[in-house]
Amino acid sequence: MERQQLRPIVIATLRSIAPEVEEGELVADQPLRNQVDLDSMDWLNFLIGLHNRLKVEIPEADYAKLVTLDNVLDYLNEKLTARDS
């Protein structure tokens, strides 16, 4: 799956947790949790949602890598590419 194909899935998953999110207002290289005011439980639900939609394992040890929208997209792209190879 291409990175640009992942973005709508990530945004839809984020909006399932925070429906007020406007995609056009997100800054891809800024901390995502701060932009949409997610607490730790919301963030965990977001990551679980990504796991469920994409069937990608996201170990807790990797959570610190997932700060910005770009980080999330790059991480998922890498995981999916490795899985599908």
CATH number where 42 lies: 1.10.1200.10
Instruction: Calculate the CA 51 to chain-centre distance.
Output: 9
pLDDT for the residue 2: 85
Of the candidates 60, 84, 4, 69, which has an alpha carbon nearest to the alpha carbon of residue 30? 69
Domain range for 18 is 3-84
Bridge partner residues of 68 (DSSP): 31
Count, residues in the chain: 85
Domains in the chain: how many in total? Answer: 1
pLDDT for the residue 37: 92
pLDDT digits (tens, 9 = 90+) for 13-70: 999 999 999 999 999 999 999 999 999 999 999 999 999 999 999 999 999 999 999 9
- Under the banding of pLDDT at 50, 70 and 90, the label for residue 3 is confident
